[in-house]
Amino acid sequence: MPELPEVEVYRRYVERHALRKSVTGVSVLDARILGDLTPRALNRGLAGRQFLGTHRHGKHLFVATDGGPWLYLHFGMSGDIFYYRGKRDRPRFARVLVRFSDSSELAYDDMRLFGVVDLVDDPGTFIEERGLGPDPLDRKFTLPVFRRILAGRKGAIKSLLMSQQIVAGLGNLYVDEILFRTAVHPQTAADLLTAADVARVFRAIRPLLLKMIIIREAGAPNPPRSLISHREEGERCPLCGGEIRRTVVFGRTTYFCGNHQRLVRHR
Partner DNA sequence: CCTATAGCCTGACGGC
Partner DNA sequence: TGCCGTCAGGCTATAG
Among residues 57, 70, 68, the alpha carbon closest in space to that of 131 is found at: 57
Task: Give dist(CA 75, CA 217) in Å, integer.
Answer: 17
- Shortest distance in whole angstroms from residue 156 CB to DNA: 4
Among residues 34, 52, 54, the alpha carbon closest in space to that of 44 is found at: 34
- Shortest distance in whole angstroms from residue 104 CB to DNA: 25
Nearer to DNA, 99 or 158 (CB): 158
Nearer to DNA, 101 or 194 (CB): 194
- Shortest distance in whole angstroms from residue 130 CB to DNA: 6
- Shortest distance in whole angstroms from residue 173 CB to DNA: 3
Nearer to DNA, 31 or 41 (CB): 31
- Shortest distance in whole angstroms from residue 193 CB to DNA: 12
203 assigned to active site = no
Residues that bind DNA (CB under 7 A): 1-3, 6, 32, 58-59, 74, 76-77, 93, 111-114, 130, 152-156, 159, 164, 171-173, 189-190, 216, 231, 249-253
Nearer to DNA, 19 or 192 (CB): 192
243 assigned to active site = no
Nearer to DNA, 99 or 136 (CB): 136
Candidates 12, 245, 246, 252; catalytic one = 252
Instruction: Give the total residue count for the chain.
Output: 267
Q: 141, 207 in Cβ contact below 8 A?
A: no
Estimate the crossing angle of helix 195-218 against helix 4-17, to 10 degrees.
Answer: 40
Candidates 11, 56, 59, 181; catalytic one = 59
3 assigned to active site = yes
Residues forming the active site: 2-3, 59, 252
